[in-house]
Structure 1
Amino acid sequence: MEPPTEGGRSTGQEPGAAAGPAPGAAVSGAERLARAALTRIIEPGDERGGRWLRACGAVELVRRIVTDDGAAERLCGMTPKRLAGYRLRAEKAEPERDLAAIAALGGRFVCPGDREWPSQLDDLGYARPTGLWVRGACDLRLWALRSVAVVGARACTPYGSHMAGSLGAGLAELGWVVVSGAAFGVDGAAHRGALAVGGATMAVLACGVDVPYPRGHAELIGRIAEQGLVIGELPPSDHPTRGRFIQRNRVIAALTRGTVVVEAEYRSGSLVTARCAQRLGRLSMGVPGPATSGLSAGVHELLRGEGILVTDASEVVELVGDMGELAPVRHGPVHPRDALDPLSARVLEALPGQGAVSGRDVARSAGTSADEALGRLYELHSLGFVEREGEGWRLTPWPTRRDDVRRGGT
Structure 2
Amino acid sequence: MMRLLLGDTELMAAARRIHGGEAVADCVARAAWTVIAEPGDAVAGALIGALGAEEALSVAAGGRSRSPFTDDTGEVGFRALREAQARWRPRLQQEAVRSAFLGALEIGARLVIPGDPQWPDALDDLGPHAPSALWVRGRVELLTASPRVSMVGARASSGYGEQVAAELAGDLASTGAVVVSGGAYGIDGAVHRAALGVGGATIAFLAGGVDRAYPVGHQRLLQQISEHGAVVSEPPCGTAPTKWRFLA
Bin of the TM-score, shorter chain as denominator length: 0.7 to 0.9
Describe the shift of the 1:133–1:167 C-alpha distance in structure 2 as closer, same or farther (beyond 3 A): same
How far 1:80 sits from its partner (Å)?
3.8
Work out the percentage of aligned pairs sharing the same amino acid. Answer: 41
Per-residue displacement from partner, 1:225-266 (whole Å, max 9, x unpaired)?
Answer: 00100001010011112221111xxxxxxxxxxxxxxxxxxx
How far 1:221 sits from its partner (Å)?
0.4
* 2:110 alignment counterpart: 108
| Pairing of 1:123-138 with structure 2 (within 5 A) | 123-138=125-140
- Alignment partners' CA distance in 2, 1:103 and 1:226: 16
TM-score of the pair, normalised by structure 2? 0.84
How far 1:197 sits from its partner (Å)?
1.2
* 1:192 alignment counterpart: 193
* 2:17 alignment counterpart: none
Contact 1:33 1:96 in 2 (8 A): no
* 2:37 alignment counterpart: 42
Per-residue displacement from partner, 1:19-45 (whole Å, max 9, x unpaired)?
Answer: xxxxxxx55211110110111111111
Contact 1:37 1:93 in 2 (8 A): no
How far 1:168 sits from its partner (Å)?
1.6
Contact 2:43 2:81 in 1 (8 A): no
* 2:245 alignment counterpart: 244
How far 1:6 sits from its partner (Å)?
9.7
- Residue identity opposite 2:130 in structure 1: R
How far 1:4 sits from its partner (Å)?
4.2
* 1:261 alignment counterpart: none
Residue in structure 1 matching 2:67, options 71, 74, 77: 74
Structure 1 segments unaligned to the other structure (5+ residues): 9-25, 248-410
| Pairing of 1:57-206 with structure 2 (within 5 A) | 57-66=52-61, 68-69=62-63, 71=64, 73-75=66-68, 76-77=77-78, 78-91=80-93, 94-143=96-145, 145-206=146-207
Contact 1:209 1:236 in 2 (8 A): yes
Per-residue displacement from partner, 1:115-161 (whole Å, max 9, x unpaired)?
Answer: 11111111111111110000003413432x31111111100011011
Of 216-225 and 100-109, the range deviating more from structure 2: 100-109
Structure 1 or 2: larger helix share?
A: 2
Structure 2 segments unaligned to the other structure (5+ residues): 8-20, 69-76
Describe the shift of the 1:31–1:154 C-alpha distance in structure 2 as closer, same or farther (beyond 3 A): same
SS in 2 for 1:95: helix
Greater C-alpha radius of gyration: 1
- Alignment partners' CA distance in 1, 2:117 and 2:97: 21
Question: Is residue 3 of structure 1 aligned with residue 7 of structure 2?
Answer: no
- Alignment partners' CA distance in 2, 1:107 and 1:132: 10
Contact 2:4 2:94 in 1 (8 A): no
Describe the shift of the 1:155–1:55 C-alpha distance in structure 2 as closer, same or farther (beyond 3 A): same
Per-residue displacement from partner, 1:322-376 (whole Å, max 9, x unpaired)?
Answer: xxxxxxxxxxxxxxxxxxxxxxxxxxxxxxxxxxxxxxxxxxxxxxxxxxxxxxx
* 2:13 alignment counterpart: none
| Pairing of 1:222-301 with structure 2 (within 5 A) | 222-247=223-248
Question: Higher relative contact order at CA 8 Å, sep ≥6: structure 1 or structure 2?
Answer: 2
TM-score of the pair, normalised by structure 1? 0.52
Contact 1:40 1:234 in 2 (8 A): yes
Describe the shift of the 1:111–1:93 C-alpha distance in structure 2 as closer, same or farther (beyond 3 A): farther
SS in 2 for 1:134: strand
How far 1:99 sits from its partner (Å)?
1.8
Per-residue displacement from partner, 1:282-301 (whole Å, max 9, x unpaired)?
Answer: xxxxxxxxxxxxxxxxxxxx
